[in-house]
Amino acid sequence: MRRLFAAVLLVVALAGCAAEPDPPPPAFNATDVMFLQMSLDYIGQGDQVVALAERRAGDPRVRALAIELRGQWQGESATMRRWLTGWQQPPSADPAAGAHAGHGELHSLRPSDLAELEAAKGTDFDRTAVSLLLGHLHNCVELTRMEATGGQYPPAKALAETMTRQRQGQIQRMLALAA
């Protein structure tokens, strides 16, 4: 009887060991990766505009906003790169892979945009810089909305929420400058 009881206990114990729990869901998803990669790309593009505005803006409010943006972008990009590295994901998507297909409504800064800004002088420079940054920040807000609705990684979603609030405030300030 003892042997039968021991055998039953052994079978039950082994059966419990054989059933492994389902693996936890990944901490991040493709939307998180795309949001971070595209945001890093946009930060890189916008940094070209703010670098010029820091040096050449005639209106101190434009210069101050450029300095503010650069500071924010440095902190955000460091965080984004750290997450992507931790997930063993590249900081930018392979453009040949079409990873960001379907996001054609988000426009990148073109070389001609930057050439126009570099050639502009005085108040024309300020107007052009503000115009480029307005479009750029609008696209950044669209990226944050993509993360808010489709992302999975809670810290990335929280960063997107913070970025949305900050960018919307900056857009309002720029609209006042453009008026």
Q: Give 42-52 pLDDT, tens digit per residue.
A: 999 999 999 99
Q: Give 15-28 pLDDT, tens digit per residue.
A: 555 556 666 656 99
Please report the domains of the chain, with CATH numbers, ordered by start residue. Answer: 39-89+110-179 (1.20.1260.10)
What is the largest distance, in Å, between two alpha-carbon atoms of the chain? 98
- Do residues 40 and 143 lie in contact, with contact meaning Cβ atoms separated by under 8 Å? no
Sign of the Cα pseudo-torsion (25, 32, 93, 40, in order): negative
Q: How confident is the model at residue 152 (pLDDT cuts 50, 70, 90)?
A: very high
Supply the DSSP symbol for 107.
Answer: P
Q: What's the rounded mean pLDDT across residues 99-118?
A: 74
Give the integer Cα–Cα distance in Å for 107 and 37. Answer: 15
**Angular region, 102: left φ>0, alpha ψ -120 to 50, beta rest:** left
Q: For the whole model, what pTM was predicted? A: 0.80
